[in-house]
Each structure stands twice: as C-alpha cells, then as structure tokens.
A and B are shown apart, each in its own frame.
Chain A
C-alpha cells in the first residue's frame, strides 16, 4: 500500500472510529439528564434505573472516545507534520478551548458516575448536564477547526509564508457555523435513533417492557426532533458549500458541466471518464434551487475546475447519496412517530412502528460516516483548501502502511469488544437495573 494512501486511510479510520464515540458521548448525557430529572421529580424508580443503565454505557463510550481522541491529537502530527507545522498556530485556538471543555467533561463525569447518594441530588443532576454541555462544546470546537480546513481564514498566505496570523478570525471562519450546526444535529439524530432502535428491539422481545418503553420514548423524541430539523441545516450547508467550495458540491452531485437550471442527480453511477452519470434520476432545476435558492441560477460544474484540483467524484457522490437517503428515511420515520404521538396513539402500541425504529438503528451513524466522507473526500486534493495539498503535508516516514494495519487491527478489536459489552449490558438489564 502506498504510504500516502495509508496515511489517509489511517486518518479516516481514526476519525471514523472516534466520531461514533464522541457523538454518543456528547448526546447521551442529555438523555440521561432527562431520565434523571423524571426520577428526581416523580420518584418513579424506573427512571433511576434507566439513568444508571445509560450511565454505564456512557462510561464505556466516553473512555473509548477519550483515548481515541488522544490518539487523534498525536496523529495530526504523526501523519501530517507538514500541515501541523503551519496550521497548528492558526487553527489551534478551538483546540486549546476544546482541551478545557474536554477536561471539564472528564471532571463532571467523575462527579456524575460516582456521585450517587454523595452530593445534593440537584448538584448531582447538574453535573450530568455539565457533561453534556461541555461535550457539545468540545464537538463544536473540533468541528470549527475542521471547518477552517475547508474555509481557511485568519492569515495571509504570501510567497509560501503564513503571516498576520489571527487565531480568533481563524476559529470563526465562514464554514464553522454551518458545519457545527449540521454536525451537532447529526449527533442527536444518530444517537437518538441508535438508542431508540435498541430499546425498540427489547420492547418487541417483550423484555422489561416498561423500562425499555421509557428509554425508547426519551431517545426517540430527541432523535426525531433532530431528524426533522436536519434537512434545514443540510440546506444551509449546501448553499454555503456551493459558494465556498464549488468543486465539492460538483463532486457531491457528480455535476460535470456548468449549467443554468441544473438538475439534481439522485443515485446513479458517475462515469468520470465520459463525464456523465448512468442510471440516475434527474430533477431539472432542483440543483440550482438547492445551491442558490433559484431554479434558474447557474451551478459551477467540474469543467470549470482544473483537473488536478478535482476531488474523487464517485466516492463523494455515493457518500452524499447515502447521507441524504438515510437522512430522509429517518425524517419520514420521525414524522410518522410524531403523528402517532399526537393523532394516532394506537400506532404507538403497534409492532410496525417499533420495527421501523429497529430497522433504522444504524441509519444515523451511517449518515454521519457518509457525511464526513463527503466533507473530507470532497475537500481533496487539499488539506487546507486552495492553500496546501494533502500530499505535501504527509509525513516523510516510510512504512505508514504497517501503522495503518496495526491501528486497523486495534480499532476493529476495540469495536468488537465494545459491541460485545453493550450486548451484555442490555442482556443484563433485567438483573442489574430493572427487577420488575
């Protein structure tokens, strides 16, 4: 394996692994806080059991997320020293704040996990909320740093030198808001649907039904509200990308020719050689509308971008289709669920709705991974958009392929153990948390 490809694969693997744990680590505390709140207010023991059971899961996910995050802070230098040498001082601001947020999250988690019966009950509840808030802040800050790579700001690039550095301006770059919004909502959708799906399955199996119904309801409401909001934030992102990174949008849509009232391409197989997409559904004018809010407007195609600056079209296009597809499916389920809550209460007791949720368990995380593929692969060949090429940033050390194999083996084993442990947690619910 080529060292450059190996370095990119290792980075993708590490980020792809970490993102799952960080999403769960920043969203689950809010679910717990709700359950915990109901326990303190209603004294219904089921809510306490739910909170405790969830907190075990959070501890497992947080520990794994913390170590995989530590690894990332080193990997930036181990794999991309050429990038970090210049970028570190510019986009480092969110990282230095993130260090604080992460630290507070770890402290608050110590209070929350071990604080049962030790502190004032509302102080204890509050530490759980702090875990969530600081986790969310960490996530937003890290995304702000990533946004800087898409939308470099806060410096002048003169004759290969990075001068007049302003880290605050770099942090509040043009892309940070749309990316942070999209990612934050995505974390709620993904975690909400994953958690709801697992509890739905247990309800269907008829085990600890009351316990799992309460858990399911909290997770499903969070996930469904987020799933309905997400297309709106996606629209903000698309309009933003269309202006800032036309090459990325063109790759997402496999849009080869610049044209007015451009068609939105759904599905299909991009043929980069002949600049066409086979077997796709075309919706005339919709791409123009999506990108610029006007069915007539012109959308830049890949023909306007020099060949050497093209991102890989097929991967970006497929990833985008997968993300949107999964997002739409979850939005539909969300609409059905709210309909059930308000109008059709009988649906809530029926099996088909729960089965839909079970089927949707992995959809949110599939969408998250696909979305990251879109934003990262779609930025290629640049590591700092229009400033530095990824190939120029890679470490000179040979043999990165072996490092990639090693980390792959470690992450695969970790993933297996975590899934195994969750399986055991869920299996033991009746024994450990809910004796009814």
Chain B
C-alpha cells in the first residue's frame, strides 16, 4: 500500500506540473505578451482554461494531503524550514486564483481590470518560481533542522543559486507547456504563429535555465550530474526527451499540431522522472547528510491502508469525470459568446 500511496504522490505532482503548470504558463505568457496582443491572448487563454482551471489546481491539494497524512515528518520539516517560500507561494496562489476569477466575473468591465490583470500575470510568474525554489531546496542539502540562527534556519535553507535556478527553470517549463497547449486552442493563423514563437522562446529559456541549474549545482557541490546521468533510467529519459523535442519542432514547422501536446507532456514527464528517480526514496536531503525518506518516514500501516484506499476510491470518481470535462470542452471549445455571457 505504501507504494500505491507513493505512486499517487508522484502522479499528482506530475499532473500538477503538467496541468497546473500549463495554467500558470498561460499567465506567464500574458506577462510576456506585447500590449497590442494582450486582449486577444486573454480571450484564447480564457476559453482554453476557464472550465478546467479550478480542477488543475486540485492536484496540489491532493499532493499536500498525501504528504501530511502519509508522511507527516516530511511535511512538518518542510513547513518549518521552508516557511518563507511556502508563504510566498501561498500568497501567489491566493492572488492568482482570485484575480483570474474576478477579472472574468466582475459585472462591470472598467478600470478594475487594470488591477486584476497585472496581479494575475505577476502571480502566475511568482507562484511557480517559488514552487521550483521549494522543490530545489528540498534536495539541495541546505535544510538544516539543527540550525541555530534565523538566517541559516529559515533563509539560507532556500535562498541559494541552485534553488533559484530550479525556480526559473520551472517558470520556463510552465511557459513552454502553456505555449504548446495554446497553439492547439486557436484557429487564427497569426495567433497560432505567435504561440509557436512563444514556445520557441520558452524552450530556449528552459535550456538556459537548465544550464544554470547544472552550473549552480556544480558550484554548490550538489551531485546533480551524477543524479541525472549516473544511471540508465536518467540517461534514457534525457535522450528520449531530447529526441522528442527534435520531433516536436519538426512537426511544428510542418504545420502539424496533433502530436505537439503529447510530446511536450512527455518531455516534462521525463524531466521529472530523471530528477526524482535517482533520489527515490529520499525526498528531503538535509545539511548534515541525513535525509527524509518516503520509505522510512511514512506513517503507520493502518494510516497507509486507509489513505491508499481513499485515494483509489477517489480516483474512480475523479478521473472519469475529469476526462469527460476536458473532453467536452475540447470537442466544443467555449466560443466568444460563452465568454461574454454564460
């Protein structure tokens, strides 16, 4: 049952990265769109994520619940030492979710939009930045439960080059996922081209940020190269991700869009796989070389049983409904009139 719970945890993180990530990315794209094109981008974006965005963010809740029910020591250690980035991330989640809803549901469209729009765009950037920082910090070996100063316990646990580069890398990935996703959401040729350019931009950004992550890891003596390339799973995953990237760009230049989304999703899945595989079951690496492990720091047997059953039962309800929701709005996307007045 422990392994079922761990599988659910990994899958929710992956789905949050893919679906929630594309969702954040939509806001990041808005941030990087010229004023002239913002309005039309917003409409495409709304028709693409309007009906499903709430569901996209549920994966974070599932992951956090698994963590605090099944792995309370890991949850509470991270909550203490990463208090500040977690708080910033939460403020980002509040700002983003409310601004997105408010700007659409405000009965009067006026200057208030100038308040909602930048809040939405900037928080779409900040939230995944800090999600990445938190993930980077967990494995960076900077978390020190024995630390005796405020700075070493609560600031330098997360504020270092490695985590920040992981944060930027996460932002680039979100932007990339969203651009690729949105290419298929519009029938307008010029707009499609614009999203293709955005995809290119974020792809390059991801490569640069990825390089930064490796450099930061090297400087901070984090054995990232060994984690990623030191085993067959990592090597195969990286190789196939790179090949699929080539295939994706080839498809895009051919003007075919059918395979774009699965390929982009595949690449991100491979990245998550390589970065977590070598670590498993260690999820938090501490400063003194100790670690918190999914296998050793899990809850008692009965808790895992109950949690596993709850997750399995839950997915029987959730998955079909979710697929049908996504399918319905893919088959017949929201039209302009729906956006104005549903």
Residues of A within 8 A of B (CB): 56, 59-60, 62-64, 66-71, 73-78, 81-82, 84-90, 92-93, 95-100, 102-104, 106-111, 113-114, 116, 118-119, 163, 165-168, 395-399, 403, 406, 410, 414, 417, 421, 424-425, 427-428, 432
Contact = CB atoms under 8 A, between A and B. Distances in A.
Given A92-B307, A97-B314, A165-B303, A395 B107 contact: no
B54 A109 contact: yes
A417 B116 CA distance: 11
Interface residues of B, number: 66
Given A63-B100, A67-B94, A92-B303, A77 B311 contact: no
A95 B65 contact: yes
Contacts of A108: 321
B93 A67 contact: yes
Given A73-B64, A74-B64, A116-B342, A93 B107 contact: no
B124 to A, nearest CB: 14
B111 interface: no
Contacts of B283: none
Given A97-B314, A424-B106, A103 B98 contact: no
Contacts of A398: 150
B76 A81 contact: yes
Top 10 closest pairs, chain A to chain B, by CB: A92-B69, A77-B79, A100-B314, A89-B299, A88-B72, A63-B101, A81-B76, A67-B97, A106-B54, A428-B107
Interface string B38-82: 000000000000111011011011101110111011011111100
A224 B312 CA distance: 40
A77 B77 CA distance: 9
Contacts of A84: 68, 72, 75-76, 79
B300 A74 contact: no
Interface string B296-323: 0001101100110011011001100110
Contacts of B93: 67, 70-71
A167 B307 CA distance: 9
Contacts of A62: 54
Given A63-B101, A163-B300, 15 more contacts: A75-B90, A77-B79, A84-B68, A88-B72, A92-B303, A95-B68, A99-B62, A103-B58, A103-B61, A106-B54, A107-B55, A110-B54, A397-B80, A406-B91, A428-B108
B332 interface: yes
Nearest to B91: A410
Contact of A90 (B75, B78, B303): B303
Contacts of A88: 68-69, 72, 75-76, 299
Interface of B: 50-52, 54-55, 57-58, 60-62, 64-66, 68-70, 72-73, 75-80, 83, 86-87, 90-91, 93-95, 97-98, 100-102, 105-108, 150, 153-154, 299-300, 302-303, 306-307, 310-311, 313-314, 317-318, 321-322, 325, 328-329, 332, 334, 338, 341-342
A113 B94 contact: no
Given A63-B98, A67-B94, A167-B302, A427 B318 contact: no
A56 B51 contact: no
B68 A76 contact: yes
Interface majority SS on B: helix, strand, loop or mixed?
A: helix
A399 B84 CA distance: 11
Given A118-B328, A398-B150, A77 B61 contact: no
Given A63-B101, A77-B76, A417-B98, A102 B61 contact: yes
A295 B113 CA distance: 62
Nearest to B303: A89
Contacts of A403: 87
A421 B107 contact: yes
Contacts of A427: 107
Nearest to B94: A67
A424 B107 CA distance: 6
A397 B302 contact: no
A421 B105 contact: yes
26 contacts: A60-B105, A63-B98, A63-B101, A64-B98, A66-B97, A70-B93, A73-B64, A74-B64, A74-B86, A77-B79, A81-B76, A81-B79, A81-B80, A89-B69, A90-B303, A93-B310, A96-B306, A97-B314, A99-B62, A100-B313, A103-B61, A110-B325, A114-B50, A165-B300, A421-B107, A432-B341
B54 A167 contact: no
B76 A99 contact: no
B322 A78 contact: no
Nearest to B79: A77
A319 to B, nearest CB: 27
A263 to B, nearest CB: 44
B298 to A, nearest CB: 9
Nearest to B300: A165
B318 A103 contact: yes
A92 B302 CA distance: 12
A428 B158 CA distance: 47
A83 to B, nearest CB: 9
Contact of A92 (B65, B90, B328): B65
A99 B302 contact: no
Contact of B101 (A59, A98, A425): A59
Given A73-B65, A74-B64, A113 B75 contact: no
Given A88-B299, A92-B69, A95-B69, A100 B55 contact: no
A63 B97 contact: yes
Given A89-B69, A100-B314, A396 B98 contact: no
A85 B62 CA distance: 18
Contacts of A432: 107, 341
Contacts of A71: 90, 93-94
Nearest to A83: B76
Nearest to A395: B80
Nearest to B314: A100
B54 A93 contact: no
Contacts of B55: 103, 106-107, 110
B61 A99 contact: yes
B51 A110 contact: yes
